[in-house]
Amino acid sequence: MASTTSGGSPKNATENNNIIERMALRCSMHPSLWRSSEYNQVAAGITAALKQFREIEEAKNLKFVESLNSEIPKRKKQCKAIVDVFKILDCPTGIESTHLLHLNYDVLTPTCLWILQKSLLKEVTNFKNPMPFTTYFRQSFKSPEDSIKAFRESSIYKWERYENFKEMVSGNNSTSLANAVNIDQLNFDKEILALEQRLEAEANAYFHHRTETQTHEYELFCALTRKNDYDPKLYSNLLKTTDKLMDRLMHCKDLVHSDLLRIRRESGEHEPRTNAQGKTIVDMEYYQWVKLADYAKTLEGRFHDLVMKLAKVMTETLASTEHKAQIDKVDIMPGHKLETLESRYLPIDETIGDSAIDIYKRLRTFVQTHDPQDLIEKHSEQFYNSYKSYVSNINFKLSDLCCKANVMQHNRNSLKEKCDNLKSEMKKRQREEIIIAQKMNIALRVNMGNAEVNCELSTLLRGLDHIKAEMDEIFESRVSDED
């Protein structure tokens, strides 16, 4: 293969080669181009990727024409047409015609990776003319077996087994064939089968995790649509009610205290006194005031206790700083299924495409090291045609596997992202429900506390009425005595 790369370390050279292979497999490059120059292979791959954007007239009209290294004007024209499409697509790498013309891999590598990803996303969202294995991800299956079967049957190409090919081209001429070419180097049956099995394992993992995710999606839907038996106004109204109750308590306590002071003054005015003869004169009203003062003092103490009780309810259940600190610690409920969903998520096999590239490289090397004319001369044109058909078949099969692996990886990553978002949303919803439950619990405790205080207050109010009645009775008795 002709090489015209510009600069780069051995590592970069390996990466550049992988880009060529990725582009070749993505566009199912025909083996006839494998003996062409590196420029032709890169340009053919990029052209095939860009032509997927058929809604863009410039992309739709793109045509790849193989050219010699000496045909610079033809290549310049082709490079300009390709770069124009990249600019329409807003490619972020800043690719110019000279980068492609002179194979500047510092720019070409990220550009090719970008267009591969963009064309992949376009493929998986193509609903009009989708590839068979992209529609697989839009279907539902009752069992893993049904899922695997559908994924297996979604392949575009049914590859020809090596033994069939060998039997067809060998016949009774195995000796002369062996002298012409060692075709056993083309036996990739086990490796391709292993790739298919790895892909089926990915499909199996996808089925299980999609099923689990759908279950948790339904759980989240139920949680989000669940009616909350909580009115935000309840909390604020309850605070207002409690504040009013406290104001009423304080007012009643002040009334008792005021009555107590008056009773004490009356009691002081009717204290026993000694006359000029040294005899103690006792006013019977004094004992009435003393008895009533004791009762009022006890009642004042009970009002004080009731005020403290209500204050405790308010401070313990409605303390904003402490309450907010507890709410901030609320997380997903321990033991919830979502907690272990991510831990059971099987790792994605990201090397299937690389394994396909490895087989592709060996297949391409075989083709490059065996001259077509030499094969025809040493064996026969019939053999060469069969060989060419078989190589194309394997090439298309590898391209099919590589595309399926890319689409599978994309969908598994999307499912993983969906799972993470689902877990985050469920955490958020559970946190909201826990906060609501806490507020409901607080509201219940405050309501119960208010009810208890109200009940006791009713009793104490009767005590206030008793004091007033006793005082009125004493005053009435005093008036009647004066009469």
| Exposure class string for 11-28: b at 16+ Cβ within 10 A, else e | eeeeebbbbbbbbbbbbb
pLDDT value, residue 189: 93
- The predicted model gives 447-464 an average pLDDT of 88
Under the banding of pLDDT at 50, 70 and 90, the label for residue 188 is: very high
Residue pair 188/365 in contact (Cβ under 8 Å)? The answer is: no
Which one is predicted more confidently, 168 or 55?
A: 55
Provide DSSP, 110-172. Answer: HHHHHHHHHHHHHHHT--SS--HHHHGGG---SSHHHHHHHHHTT-S--PPPHHHHHHHHHTT
CA distance 203 to 470: 91
What span, in angstroms and rounded, lies between the C-alpha atoms of 46 and 37?
Answer: 15
* pTM (2 d.p.): 0.69
Residue range 360-368: average pLDDT?
Answer: 89
| Residue with the two structure tokens 């610079």 | 72
Q: Provide the H-helix boundaries in 136-271.
A: 144-152, 162-170, 174-180, 189-225, 232-269
| The predicted structure's pLDDT at residue 9 | 36
pLDDT of residue 336: 53
Mean pLDDT of 79-89: 95
Partners of residue 274 on adjacent β-strands: 280
d(C-alpha 169, C-alpha 151), whole Å: 32
Residue 309 scores a pLDDT above 50: yes
Say yes or no to pLDDT of 71 above 50.
Answer: yes
- Please state, in angstroms and rounded to a whole number, the distance separating the CA atoms of residues 122 and 405: 16
For the chain, what percent of residues have pLDDT higher than 90? 20
pLDDT for position 26: 75
Mean pLDDT to the nearest integer, 124-133: 71
Q: Tell which wins on pLDDT, 207 or 274.
A: 207
| Higher per-residue pLDDT: 448 or 157 | 448
The confidence score (pLDDT) of residue 355 equals 92
- Locate 335 and state its tokens: 């033991």
Burial of 339 (0-12, 13-18, 19+ CB in 10 A): middle
Nearest to 108 by CA among 94, 123, 90: 94
Band (pLDDT 50/70/90 cuts) for residue 11 is: very low
Residue ranges covered by each domain of the chain: 10-124, 143-226+336-428, 232-333+437-482
Angle at 16 between CA 18 and CA 75, to 5 degrees: 115
How far apart, in whole angstroms, are the C-alpha atoms of residue 73 and residue 92? 27
For residue 69, pLDDT over 50 is answered with yes
Cα–Cα distance, 421 to 263 (Å, whole number):
72
Write down the pLDDT at residue 271.
79
pLDDT for res 215: 81
CA atoms of 187 and 191, how far apart (whole Å): 9
Confidence of residue 99 (pLDDT cuts 50, 70, 90): very high
Of residues 252 and 376, more confidently modeled? 252
Q: Show the tokens assigned to 278.
A: 């040294």
The pLDDT of residue 4: 38
Q: In 10 A of CB 269, how many CB atoms? A: 11
**Average pLDDT of the segment spanning 339-362:** 80
Across 66-87, average pLDDT? 94
Mean pLDDT value of segment 58-82 = 93
- CATH code, residues 232-333+437-482: 1.20.120
Summarize the confidence of residues 130-147 as an average pLDDT. 82
Spatial CB neighbours of 461, under 8 Å, sequence gap ≥ 6? 252
Q: What is the mean pLDDT of residues 61-85?
A: 93
Band of residue 59 on the pLDDT scale cut at 50, 70, 90: very high
Mean pLDDT of 165-172: 74
Q: What is the pLDDT of residue 444?
A: 81
- The Cα–Cα gap between 191 and 198 comes to 11
State the pLDDT at residue 10.
36
List Cβ neighbours of 379 (8 Å cut-off, separation of 6 or more).
173, 176, 177, 180, 181
> What residues does 281 pair with on adjacent strands?
273
**Is residue 359 within 8 Å of residue 398, measured between CB atoms?**
yes
More confident residue, 67 or 213: 67
Average pLDDT, the chain: 81
Count of residues in the chain: 483
Region 69-84: mean pLDDT is 94
Q: Across the strands, what pairs with 144?
A: none
pLDDT at 343: 56
Question: 295-307, pLDDT tens digit by residue?
Answer: 989 999 999 999 9
Q: Tens of pLDDT along 423-446? A: 888 888 877 777 777 777 777 888
pLDDT at 473: 85
Select from 120, 118, 98 the least CA-distant residue to 108: 98
Predicted confidence (pLDDT) per residue in 317-349, tens digit: 655 545 554 555 555 444 455 555 555 667 888
pLDDT of residue 6: 39
